[in-house]
Amino acid sequence: MNTLNTHSKLIGYILWIFGFMGAHRFYYGRPISATIYFFTLGLFFIGWIIDLFLIPSMDRSADLRFTPGARDYNIAWVLLTFVGVFGVHRFYLGKWLTGLIYLLTGGLFLVGIIYDYWTLNAQVSEVNSRLGGVNGVVS
């Protein structure tokens, strides 16, 4: 069982500021509710306010669900959010070909960015598993 901290409450609360758009829910690996929040302004701001108190449990759940390791979830999320259209988060994960495609196509015409918001936690977990988990040693 994973007891290491893969996600940050601080980043969760910072993203909660934009939570009416689902940002913190994407970060904690809840893409379906994040998409609902995006289209309903955080369930008409009511869900957004309730989430202020749910972030600690979402953080614990993400810490248990995702594999810690050589690639940091927080760095990957910051790169996706601020320079994702240039593929920097994919370069960080060692996905050089798709990183280059994103760089040349603006995040594959933004559709790739949406896909990555839905799947980034799983992508980082997969890379961490392949790199040997916490120690970062290839198994």
85-122 per-position pLDDT tens digit: 999 999 999 999 999 999 999 999 999 999 999 999 99
- Give every residue of the chain whose pLDDT is below 70, as ranges: 1-3, 133-139
For residues 37 and 79, membership in a common domain is answered with no
pLDDT at 137: 41
> What is the number of structural domains in the chain?
2
For residues 128 and 81, membership in a common domain is answered with yes
For residues 61 and 79, membership in a common domain is answered with no
Q: What distances in angstroms separate CA 111 from CA 36, 96, 122, one per listed residue?
A: 18, 18, 18
pTM score, two decimals?
0.89
For the chain, the farthest-separated pair of C-alpha atoms sits apart, in whole angstroms, at 47
Identify the domain containing residue 82 by its residue range: 73-133
For residues 86 and 113, membership in a common domain is answered with yes
**Distance in Å from the first CA to the final CA of the chain:** 19
Among the candidates 37, 65, 93, a domain finishes at 65
